[in-house]
Amino acid sequence: MSGIKPTGQHREKRLSAATVRTMKAPGLHGDGNGLYLKVDPSGAKRWMQRLVIDGKRRDIGLGSADSAGTSLSDAREKALENRKLARAGGDPLAAKRRSMEVLTFKDAAEKVHELSKPTWRNEKHGNQWLNTLITYAFPFFGSKRIDTVGSADVLAALSPIWNARPETARRVKQRLGSVFKWAIANGWRMDNPAEAIGKALPKHDRSMVKHHAALPYDAVSAALESISSSNAGAATKLAFEFLALTVTRSGETRDAVWSEFDIEKATWTIPAARMKTKKIHRVPLAPRCIAILAEAKALKRDSDDLVFPGTKDKKPLSDMTLSKLMKELGLAAVPHGFRSSFRDWAGEQTHHPREVIEFALSHVIKDKAEAAYARSDLFEKRRILMVDWADYLS
């Protein structure tokens, strides 16, 4: 492994905070007192210390070196304490184990789930995260200590679903990795076995992925008329039309609250916590959207701030309510499909630039070079696009 490995006389404090922050070269980068910054090929960084304990060289994990992990000064302090203990005949590893009992994989996963609660898009997403591990990982190694789970365990758990349920398998693998990375940051592991099995499993054929069912764009207007004429509740009807006009995701519309809207500026600002991209998204509102909000105002409850309230107090409309209605009306699509209908219409029937269309859908720009120049959210250009879409549907 490459890196800056000390030779000759040992000099302390070779690294600096700036060096740690900018270091990209994979390998071990020495600081002194046996302390190393370990940089993985993926770019992940962590602290480790090499000491001779009982005549044997031992590697001790001291936590993540990323921005939210262990600082250089803290790592040096830990390394110095360990070195003093080892010179006095003690065993820093044994002391660490006594002071911090290693969790089972199940307990570790539940801990990561609890710590991640503030990042969940909604409660349903959080439950799905843990439930996939309960179903596909815990039966294989949930009761094993997390520092003893190996790549063979992970392979045994993923193999049965890798080809049968590829999308689920991909998510399980990603979530397993999150738990192992947390264990690495706690000094319980030095590796992530979910990454180690990458070449042991065949690549998925992404062409077989099923996309959300969507209506042809020239059928959307008739679909909205059908919904408007149905026996559905007022909030459901208004939410459906608002969803189609704003081409937002179902949860973004269903969980909308009045405090997010500036009616005078015809702007809806969705906070980052509610967005899939984890970035604030401003939505320009066409005149028909403002009219829908005026109608929705009559449905406001004193108990909550929801724009499209569900039947239960303080609860928004459920996604199932919208999907079930489309099915009952014989509409061969799902609510999310309105986004695809819009994308096809904008690409085939308008001259709006691609980046304006992508920003309207709150898509992340994957090309890093292009993203670096995307300083604006093209809001005013998107306003023209969304008015054109509303006019087309009317």
For 14-18, the CB contacts below 8 A with 24+ separation are 15/72, 16/72, 17/71, 17/72
**Joined tokens for residue 98:** 């006594």
Contact between 182 and 112 under an 8 Å Cβ cutoff? The reply is yes
pLDDT score recorded for residue 99: 53
Q: Per-residue pLDDT tens, the chain, 394 aa: give them.
A: 445 454 544 456 688 988 888 888 999 998 888 899 999 888 888 999 898 887 788 888 888 888 777 889 988 998 888 888 888 888 877 766 655 578 899 999 999 999 888 877 667 778 889 999 999 999 999 999 998 999 999 999 999 988 888 888 899 999 999 999 999 888 788 889 998 887 777 776 554 444 557 788 999 999 999 999 999 999 999 999 999 999 999 899 999 999 999 999 999 999 998 888 888 999 999 999 999 999 999 999 888 899 999 888 888 888 888 888 888 888 877 788 889 999 999 999 999 999 899 999 988 765 554 554 455 788 999 999 999 999 999 8
Q: Which CATH architecture group holds 105-208?
A: Orthogonal Bundle (1.10)
Kindly state the helix (H) or strand (E) to which residue 356 belongs, with its residue range: helix 354-360
* Tokens found for residue 357: 């269309």
Quote the pLDDT of residue 97: 62
Edge-first strand order for the sheet with 281-284 is: 261-262, 267-270, 281-284
Tokens in use for 148?
Answer: 């003893």
Vertex 177 angle, CA 175 and 178, to 5°: 65
Decide if domain 217-393 falls under CATH 1.10.443.10: yes
Check residue 95 and give its pLDDT: 67
pLDDT score, position 8: 47
Q: What is residue 375's predicted lDDT score, i.e. its pLDDT?
A: 59
Q: For position 345, what pLDDT does the model report?
A: 94
**Domain ranges in the chain?**
17-99, 105-208, 217-393
How far apart (Å, rounded) are the C-alpha atoms in residues 83 and 102?
Answer: 22
Kindly state which CATH superfamily the domain 17-99 is placed in.
Answer: Integrase, DNA-binding domain (3.30.160.390)
Is 262 strand, coil or helix? strand
- What is the DSSP secondary structure assignment for residue 76, as one 8-state letter? H
